[in-house]
Amino acid sequence: MANFDVIIIGGGPGGYVCAIRCAQLGLNVALAEGRDNLGGTCLNVGCIPSKALLHATHALHDAQMNFEKMGLMGAAPKVDWAKMQSYKDDVVGQNTKGIEFLLKKNKVTWIKGWAEVPAAGKVKVGGTVYQAKHIVIATGSEPTSLPNVEIDEKIIMTSTGALALGGIPKKLVVIGAGVIGLEMGSIYARLGSEVVVVEYLDHITAGMDKDLAKTFQKILTKQGLKFVLGAAVQSVLVVKKRAEVIYKLNADGQVTVLDADAVLVATGRKPYVAGLGLEALGVALLPRGQVQTDVHFKTSVAGLYAIGDAIAGPMLAHKAEEEGMALAEILAGKAGHVNYDAIPSVVYSTPEVASVGKTEEQLNAEGRAYKVGRFSFMGNGRAKAVFQGEGFVKILADKSSDRILGAHIIGPMAGDLIHEICVAMEFGASAQDLALTCHAHPTYSEAVREAALACGDGAIHA
């Protein structure tokens, strides 16, 4: 029986990062993955392919909206959907092959196939049983659906189907104004689809700072997305190869039927732990199906650990990676730790939206005294030069200590800008620390410094 120090089940960002780190720290590691390619949902049918389509359609939108303004004349390019799909597939292929190379380089054994845990310390793949001191569940998540909605991945799709549609739908209804709905909705709106987003709550992007969410909705509306808020989708029917989305308004119970060529169900994801044999092992689960873990990622069964989307917390690839790294260090006898207060989240729309730390709503609920430093990208020369003056940076700092508690950005490269604030928060920095740091001119990052200045004696370009 093959024997390993660690067997990780699942080759997504949580699992493969954990495997590489374990190997770097001298452990003998195997990783079980049943897909033909490594990288999990993120690389195969999530973050990476969606970013390829977001990039391509953003370039198209830029050509349509801005090229002429810069003296770049001529018709905007036409879309060859099949070619755009193959560009996306190439990007995915390069990335998944890259992970395979990294596993080989680090001498991680890839056990190909779907794994189960028949007993503590044992992993079974196909007919073979492997033994390990430590087993890590890093099996990720899968889309949820709604009652009365049957996914066929052609007319009624999850994000997986939406990334690989046969053609561009004339009318797309998106159920759920979360990250998936808005990223995919943006892609199809730029490709010319009429996009209607139906959301249960009275605002988009649940959990996001409301100020940010409001500006985001305004910008998306200007880009052509339509929103029906405060509406619960009750069912979706397929009638003569078209969809009928039936929703009920929360306010007055009025029922409306929306006709569409395609429907994207983006109502959340749930942990994917089916088939592992966790029930028979007696592994404790949380009420929403996540594997229960302690701060060291230990489950209720000795030697069995879990990380990523399969456990509690935000379902983000980089949160899973952090947990994978921390667990590897713990398994190697070091002090692995994740600071959950400084995990950024990003929506890769144009403009991008990024947050870290507390929202104003959370600080108010905690009764915490805070100050707000806000700076509009309209005051940032670089952003204005590239038609990206919409949006702002907002830094929330403790009223008396000036320590940064959170930051919220909507604007160009927000997903990159946020990291300056993540680092500052990791170091326990004050807004003044950021404000006193020289920022190169002309950069988008100056807007971050200006927001930090606005927490003190005031921004310069406001």
Active-site residue set: 441
Q: Does 345 bind ligand NAI (CB under 6 A)?
A: yes
Q: For residues 408-427, which are near ligand NAI according to CB under 6 A?
A: none
348 touching ligand NAI, by CB under 6 A: yes
CB 53 within 8 A of CB 31: no
By CB under 6 A, residue 355 contacts ligand NAI: no
User: Residue 285: CA atoms inside 13 Å, Cβ hemisphere, count?
Assistant: 17
- Based on CB atoms, which residue is closest to ligand NAI, 207 or 458? 207
Kindly determine how many residues on this chain lie close enough to bind ligand NAI according to the rule CB under 6 A. 26
Given the complex with ligand NAI, which of 102 and 232 has the nearer CB atom? 232
Structural contact between residues 129 and 1, judged by C-beta atoms closer than 8 angstroms:
yes
Rounded Cα distance, 342 and 352, in Å: 18
Contact (Cβ atoms closer than 8 angstroms) between residue 183 and residue 46: no
DSSP class per residue in 13-41: HHHHHHHHHHHHTT--EEEEE-SSSSSHH
- Nearest approach in angstroms of CB 401 to ligand NAI is 30
In angstroms, what is the minimal distance from the CB of 379 to ligand NAI? 27
Q: First CA to last CA across the chain, in angstroms?
A: 68
**Options 72-80, 94-102, 295-303, 346-354: segment touching ligand NAI (CB under 6 A):** 346-354
- Among candidates 370, 42, 347, 390, which has minimal Cα distance to 207? 347
Quote the least distance from Cβ 311 to ligand NAI, whole Å. Answer: 13
Of 267 and 430, the one with the shorter C-beta distance to ligand NAI is 267
CB of 396 to ligand NAI, least distance (A): 21
221-235 burial by CB neighbour count: b if 16+ within 10 A, else e? eebebebbbbbebee
Binding-residue pattern over the window 229 to 268 for ligand NAI, x denoting contact by CB under 6 A: ---xx--------------------------------xxx
Angle 414-426/446-454 helices, nearest 10 degrees?
50
Q: Using an 8 Å Cβ cutoff, are 345 and 421 in contact?
A: no
Binding segment toward ligand NAI, per CB under 6 A, in 169-177, 354-362, 391-399, 428-436 = 169-177
Instruction: Give the residue nearest to ligand NAI (CB).
Output: 178
Closer of 23 and 187 to ligand NAI (Cβ): 187
Residue 458: burial class (beta carbons within 10 Å; 0-12, 13-18, 19+): exposed
Name which of 227 and 348 has its Cβ closer to ligand NAI.
Answer: 348
By C-beta, is 7 or 198 nearer to ligand NAI?
A: 198
Q: State in angstroms the smallest separation of the CB of 222 from ligand NAI.
A: 21
Q: Which residues, numbered 170-209, are part of the site for ligand NAI (CB under 6 A)?
A: 175-181, 183, 198-201, 206
Nearer residue to ligand NAI within complex by CB, 49 or 373: 49
User: How far is it between the farthest Cα atoms of the chain?
Assistant: 68
Burial class (CB in 10 A: 0-12, 13-18, 19+), 160: middle
Please list every residue from 305 through 344 that binds ligand NAI, using CB under 6 A.
315-316
Out of 21, 134, 269, 319, the residue judged to bind ligand NAI by CB under 6 A:
269
Contact criterion met (CB below 8 Å) for 399 and 369: yes
Kindly state the smallest distance separating residue 200's Cβ from ligand NAI, in Å. 4
Task: Find where tokens 């947990």 sit.
Answer: 323
Q: Where are the beta strands (DSSP E) in 254-363?
A: 255-260, 262-265, 269-271, 304-306, 345-347, 352-357
Shortest Cβ 20–ligand NAI spacing (Å): 22
**For the chain, how big is the Rg over CA atoms in Å?**
23
Residues forming the site for ligand NAI (CB under 6 A): 146, 175-181, 183, 198-201, 206, 232-233, 266-269, 315-316, 345-348
